[in-house]
Amino acid sequence: MSETAMSETERDINDLFDDITLAEDRLVEASYNEGFAAGCQQGNEEGYRLGYAQGLQLGEELGEIFGRVVALQQQPKHTDRVKRCLEHLRTAIVAFPKENDPEADIIGAVETIRNLNKKLLVLTGNKASGRRESIAKETKDYSF
């Protein structure tokens, strides 16, 4: 019986020594986990704000282009090329994904819309308004 008590005492002493020697490792791991969780939360908030700001800017740009397309489509005096470009541009904007689908090619769709808009501006002889440049100067850069 004394052997059992002695082995339990040894085990307890070994556990104490393990606790003493591994205390720093446990504190480091706990601190890391706490810092990682706080960083993830802060990163999520910053990512949300950045995504919201960029989405707002993109929505404004697409809305401006769509408004111009609708206004130009109501005018009867356009060449066939301009009419085709207007229709392609309107279709591209309407088909633009409204939800954040991971499989949707959002960047490709934006590039297509911007290229079609440039083509339309060339075909109609309009230059890009200075309003877009002033908006770009006013917006804050949230990138790191």
Contact between residue 89 and residue 117 where contact means Cβ atoms under 8 Å apart: yes
pLDDT at 66: 93
* Distance from C-alpha of 110 to C-alpha of 136, rounded to nearest angstrom: 17
Residue whose C-alpha is closest to residue 63's, from 84, 90, 82: 90
pLDDT at 139: 64
pLDDT in tens, 100-126: 788 888 889 999 999 999 999 998 887
Distance of CA 44 to the CA centre of its chain: 11
pLDDT in tens, 23-34: 778 888 888 888
Residue whose C-alpha is closest to residue 75's, from 116, 126, 111, 112: 126
pTM above 0.85, yes or no: no
pLDDT band, residue 130 (cuts 50/70/90) = very low
The label of the residue with tokens 């070994």 reads: 14
pLDDT in tens, 48-102: 888 888 889 999 999 999 999 999 989 888 888 999 999 999 999 999 988 878 8
